[in-house]
Amino acid sequence: MSQDRLLVAIDTAELDGAVRLARSLAGSAGGLKLGLEFFSAQGPQGVAKVLASGAKLFLDLKFHDIPNTVAGAMRAAAALGPFMLNVHASGGRAMMEAAVAAAAEGAAKARKPKPLVLAVTVLTSLGDEDLSSVGQHGSTADQVKRLAVLAQKSGVDGVVCSAREVAALRSECGPDFKLVVPGIRPTWSAVQDQKRIMGPADAIRQGADYLVVGRPITGAPDPRAAARSIAQEIAKGADKGAGA
Ligand SMILES: O=C(O)c1cc(=O)[nH]c(=O)n1[C@@H]1O[C@H](COP(=O)(O)O)[C@@H](O)[C@H]1O
């Protein structure tokens, strides 16, 4: 089903608002994503309350630290029962390997299914000039590819990248490597702070597995209708393209 490939980012600090959205989006999206804003305000107890709505959860905490610290954080995060967790690929191979092992340990200890572990390549809010300003010269596309290849060697299940890199990563990393894509903007939505964007149908045509969409849905007058409209666009992309 096309909506299975849609993950809705619920970026809020408020518990009631998050639970309300989770309930109203049930059946209209494949899963929800809770990230740093929600986790910093509501912690693991808040995550458990959203999970109680029955949603599949991508817990987006983007860990980036020394391997031992990331391993400890991943163990704790996996015990909460998300279906997907992430780290920054730029933390390096040893950190990603530690994250993968710790996610499996944490889930097993809590008797939860092992989550997918993803590595964030280059944030979709960044472009070539931003990379260059932090001393990383060369194109964003090359940097994304370099990090995705390293991530795959480190044993993660897939990467977070923009839709613009999906086709290249699909051919580089193969059909089973998960490509999770934020920076999705339907024509009717505002770009906001995203830079490397694409519409839902085109992102799916490029070969994305999951699309992460936040404000175009959560900021819409009717979030459920907005999610359904994006699911229809996903269906169009899956009809015409190579799909995942
Ligand atoms: O890891 C992520 O989910 C992520 C990576 C990235 O490169 N870009 C990115 O936007 N995200 C997340 O995806 C969501 C996008 O939200 P909107 O821009 O509101 O659609 C946010 O929750 C971001 O934290």
Count of structural domains, the chain: 1
pLDDT higher than threshold 90 for residue 40: yes
Lowest mean pLDDT segment, chosen from 145-149, 206-210, 226-230, 238-242? 238-242
> Per residue in 65-116, pLDDT tens?
999 999 999 999 999 999 999 999 999 999 999 999 999 999 999 999 999 9
Give, in order, the Cα–Cα distances in Å from 192 to each of 75, 121, 180: 34, 20, 20
Burial of 27 (0-12, 13-18, 19+ CB in 10 A): exposed
Q: Ligand 1 pocket test: pick from 36, 60, 125, 147 the residue with the most ligand atoms within 8 Å of its Cβ.
A: 60
Q: Ligand 1 pocket test: pick from 8, 10, 124, 144 the residue with the most ligand atoms within 8 Å of its Cβ.
A: 124
ipTM: 0.99
For 230, the domain range is: 2-240
Beta bridge pairs of residue 63: 87
Find the distance separating the first CA and the last CA of the chain, reported in whole Å. 13
Distance CA 155, CA 178 (A): 12
Six-digit token pair at 22?
Answer: 């989770």
pLDDT of residue 240: 54
* Collapsed DSSP state (helix, strand, coil) of residue 163: helix
Distance CA 32, CA 96 (A): 23
> Per residue in 167-225, pLDDT tens?
999 999 999 999 999 999 999 999 999 999 999 999 999 999 999 999 999 999 999 99
Q: Which of 49, 65, 112, 130 is catalytic?
A: 65
Ligand 1 closest atom vs CA 11: 22
Domain CATH code at residue 158: 3.20.20.70
